[in-house]
A and B are shown apart, each in its own frame.
Chain A
Amino acid sequence: MIRWLVGLIGWSLAATSALAADPVTIGVGYLGTAGTRSTLSLVELPAENDGLAGARLAIEDNNTTGKFLNQRFALEERRIKEGEDVVQAATALAEKNGFIVTNLPADALLKISDALRERGTLLFNVGAIDERLREADCRANVIHTAPTRAMLADALGQYLVWKKWSRWLLVVGSHDEDKLFADALRRTATRFGAKIVQERTFEDKGGARRTDSGVTLIQRQMPVFTQQAPAYDVLVAADESEVFGAYLPYRTWDPRPVAGSAGLVPRSWDAAQDQWGAIQMQNRFFKLNSRRMTALDMQAWTAVRMIGEATSRTNSGDVKKVTDFIKGPDFSVAAFKGTRLTLRDWNLQLRQPILLVDGRMVVSVSPQEGFLHQVSELDTLGYDRPESKCKLK
């Protein structure tokens, strides 16, 4: 691959006299946590390189473009284990890389954002969906390609309301992130005129996700847990912790669809997405990684492509110049979602359509028809400028 690239650079040099002799190298760091989270469904267990694989593909895509512009992209990967110093790891990456793609929890991200502020490193948050990173805790050196909980909840809520499934039975897990997603869903219901007829909490009492006779027990538990509910159209589950959500479809007491953390799920990307030229992307990804592309892969791909897009538009590898362009009014990136993606300049969140998927198919894409906005319909998803508490610094 490298030799092939060098060869190509050779002839493109001969053809385009304006190019300098040595290719400009653009270093991109990838900083993630080692290990993966567990899921209820075996088929949804994330791959060890979830996210990273998307960044690798984008580096290849950037290099295909870069060979015409005498630019070369290199990825330096770093996965930190529990207890390792994240700031140290980030600082080491920042030595050689002006851009760092991060898949880290909110607190770790804030730590490195503050540590690297003076250095001018631009960070891309591809994993954390926490609202606060775009609101009270927003940072001027962090761009978010991951959607927020509110964006995901709004995307789902718009569809449910469009479908006239406006009476929701909300079931919330007992972990903090479940409660945050439930907050987002409540806000969505208020915004779009849905009614939460009742809320129930599903306590996590511990226990294994995999057992030899699990199904029998779940089949008894779930109908009982959902019985005697007021009349509702759809059960909305907030279970980011993967404790009960996937157990609900087909097992509710009343025959009702399930949405939220199981059933119809809002995501930035899905392996089933094939519209808007996405099939080429899915094929390229599969060829490179021998598995299908997840939302986290896409969020990382988009981050690295944003860097590539800005370096080719500015014809520069200068971090400051590229950063200014990405944050500027002329920036947009194409990411196989039928529309150009741009940044919300007040908090550096990437605007994006959200897919609603059922694990096999893309059921719909939000924003839904009829949800209007004076600037961009994509801003009907999540917190809008007037509500934002973010002051970039």
Chain B
Amino acid sequence: MVLATAAAPAYAFIAYVSNEKSNTVSVIDTDSWTVTKTIKVGQRPRGIDFTRDGKFVMVAVGDDDTIQVIDAKTQSVVDSLPSGPDPELFAQDAAGKILYVANENDNTVTVIDLEKRARIGDIQVGVEPEGMTISPDGKTLINTSETTNMAHFIDTASRQIVANVLVDARPRFAEFKHDSSEVWVSSEIGGTVSIIDPKKREVIGKVTFEIPGLRKEAIQPVGIGMTKDDKTAFIALGPANRIAVVDVATRKVTKYLLVGQRVWHVAFTPDEKYLLTTNGVSNDVSVIDVAAQKVIKTIQVGELPWGVTIAP
């Protein structure tokens, strides 16, 4: 693994893509933009993320009720974590010591000690917990519940819910601005992204979408990627087959980028030159040149690609 330094033009990174249907993870080399390996994992892999030290990739395999751990060196499954039933998305604290897992089937968030790889607690939340993110200061965990339609604010010290913010229907993903001033929550069925002030814990604005020639119901926002300078957000719009480029300051869409079909999630390369998107129905990954705001490449992966993470 080579890390990017200021002078270097383009370094190769390694991206891992979970393929929900084929029960595999595709490994993509971002230099050649090719799939270099396909790793067999458990059933229905979705949420996927690197451990903070970059040594392991965790992938939630919902139908096996666990999170599998892939060794990034050997690119093979080496362990599994005791998540609750049907894990989908998860978030880890800044130190990479605690993992919080949304368990869709039993309305809980499971807390896992990553060093001991042991379950250390549960938090009761709304119906079908899904989106998970932690505030940059590590003090607040946000969980969204799809049928309750709320963003639950959980105090990570006491593991208690401290506030519940109602958002539009079927909230699926939450993302903090890097300066902690806002949380963005996408509502798949509501078709909006709610912007929450984490201090006041209320919705202070909404991003809405309109694409000429496309019916409203097809616009179903899911994954959100925000640049480190907090200036631009890239929002995956599901069956609208587009990524919305949003000016964070004005909360307006400046551009729609056509990607593959049913785009789920996004991930930046660490140098933020590229953004990768998983396109569920067309079974491919689109590569977006972030500065040019253009799709430059499409890579065929497994069936129904869902999540994506890139080595730090």
Q: Considering only CB atoms, which chain B residue lies closest to A332 in the complex?
A: B169
- Please encode chain A, from 1 to 41, with 1 for each CB lying within 8 Å of some chain B CB and 0 for all others: 00000001001100110000000000000000000000000
B71 to chain A, nearest CB (A): 30
- Of residues 68 through 113 on chain B, the ones whose CB sits less than 8 Å from some CB of chain A are 86, 104-105, 107
Which of A280, A305, A376, A377 has the most C-beta atoms of chain B within 10 angstroms of its own C-beta? A280
- Please encode chain B, from 185 to 227, with 1 for each CB lying within 8 Å of some chain A CB and 0 for all others: 0000111000000000000000000000001010000000000
CA distance A68 to B191 in the complex (A): 23
Q: Does B300 contact A (CB under 8 A)?
A: no
A65:B163 contact, CB within 8 angstroms: no
A56 to chain B, nearest CB (A): 14
The residues of A that contact B146 with a CB separation of less than 8 Å are: 277, 280, 334
A64:B107 contact, CB within 8 angstroms: yes
The residues of A that contact B25 with a CB separation of less than 8 Å are: none
The residues of A that contact B107 with a CB separation of less than 8 Å are: 64
CA distance A48 to B256 in the complex (A): 51
The residues of A that contact B180 with a CB separation of less than 8 Å are: none
**With A15-B162, A280-B104 given, is the CB distance from A64 to B148 under 8 Å?**
yes
B126:A64 contact, CB within 8 angstroms: yes
Q: Does B161 contact A (CB under 8 A)?
A: yes
- Please encode chain A, from 313 to 338, with 1 for each CB lying within 8 Å of some chain B CB and 0 for all others: 10000000000000000001110001
CA distance A377 to B216 in the complex (A): 10
A280:B86 contact, CB within 8 angstroms: yes
B208 to chain A, nearest CB (A): 13
Q: Considering only CB atoms, which chain B residue lies closest to A312 in the complex?
A: B166
Q: Does B150 contact A (CB under 8 A)?
A: yes
**B217 CB contact (under 8 Å) in A11, A65, A305, A339:** A339
The residues of A that contact B152 with a CB separation of less than 8 Å are: 68
Q: Does B147 contact A (CB under 8 A)?
A: yes
Q: Does A209 contact B (CB under 8 A)?
A: no
Q: Does A233 contact B (CB under 8 A)?
A: no
Q: Considering only CB atoms, which chain A residue lies closest to B150 in the complex?
A: A68
The residues of B that contact A137 with a CB separation of less than 8 Å are: none
- Of residues 58 through 87 on chain A, the ones whose CB sits less than 8 Å from some CB of chain B are 61, 64-65, 68-69
B169:A11 contact, CB within 8 angstroms: no
A277:B128 contact, CB within 8 angstroms: yes
CA distance A283 to B62 in the complex (A): 13
A280:B189 contact, CB within 8 angstroms: no
Q: Does A340 contact B (CB under 8 A)?
A: yes
B166:A15 contact, CB within 8 angstroms: no
B206 to chain A, nearest CB (A): 13
Q: Does B170 contact A (CB under 8 A)?
A: yes
- Of residues 143 through 163 on chain B, the ones whose CB sits less than 8 Å from some CB of chain A are 145-150, 152, 160-163
**A8 CB contact (under 8 Å) in B124, B169, B170:** B124
**With A16-B163, A280-B104, A333-B169 given, is the CB distance from A65 to B150 under 8 Å?**
yes
Which of B147, B160, B189, B191 has the most C-beta atoms of chain A within 10 angstroms of its own C-beta? B147
A12:B161 contact, CB within 8 angstroms: yes
Q: Does B164 contact A (CB under 8 A)?
A: yes
Q: Does B248 contact A (CB under 8 A)?
A: no
**With A283-B105, A340-B191 given, is the CB distance from A334 to B147 under 8 Å?**
yes
The residues of B that contact A305 with a CB separation of less than 8 Å are: 147
**With A312-B149, A340-B169 given, is the CB distance from A68 to B215 under 8 Å?**
no
The residues of B that contact A377 with a CB separation of less than 8 Å are: 215, 217
A68:B189 contact, CB within 8 angstroms: no
CA distance A226 to B166 in the complex (A): 57
Q: Does B12 contact A (CB under 8 A)?
A: no
CA distance A336 to B298 in the complex (A): 30
**A334 CB contact (under 8 Å) in B126, B160, B163, B169:** B169
A362 to chain B, nearest CB (A): 16
CA distance A280 to B150 in the complex (A): 17
Q: Does B127 contact A (CB under 8 A)?
A: yes
A340:B128 contact, CB within 8 angstroms: no
A65:B126 contact, CB within 8 angstroms: yes
The residues of B that contact A339 with a CB separation of less than 8 Å are: 189, 217
B169:A65 contact, CB within 8 angstroms: no
The residues of A that contact B105 with a CB separation of less than 8 Å are: 280, 283-284
**With A16-B163, A312-B166, A340-B189 given, is the CB distance from A280 to B149 under 8 Å?**
no
B86:A16 contact, CB within 8 angstroms: no
CA distance A16 to B160 in the complex (A): 12
CA distance A11 to B158 in the complex (A): 13
The residues of A that contact B239 with a CB separation of less than 8 Å are: 338
A68:B126 contact, CB within 8 angstroms: yes
CA distance A312 to B148 in the complex (A): 9
**B149 CB contact (under 8 Å) in A8, A15, A65, A284:** A65
Binding site for B on A (CB under 8 A): 8, 11-12, 15-16, 61, 64-65, 68-69, 277, 280, 283-284, 305, 309, 312-313, 332-334, 338-340, 376-378
Q: Apart from A12-B164, A277-B170, A377-B217, list 17 A-B contacts with CB within 8 A.
A: A16-B163, A64-B127, A65-B126, A65-B147, A68-B150, A68-B152, A277-B128, A277-B146, A283-B86, A284-B105, A309-B149, A332-B169, A334-B169, A338-B239, A340-B189, A340-B191, A340-B217
22 A-B pairs whose Cβ atoms sit less than 8 Å apart in the complex: A12-B164, A15-B161, A15-B162, A61-B148, A64-B148, A65-B127, A65-B145, A65-B148, A65-B149, A68-B148, A68-B150, A68-B161, A277-B104, A277-B146, A280-B86, A280-B104, A280-B105, A280-B128, A312-B149, A334-B189, A340-B217, A377-B217
Ranked nearest first, the 7 interchain pairs of A and B with the lowest CB-CB distance are A65-B148, A68-B164, A334-B189, A339-B217, A334-B169, A340-B189, A334-B170
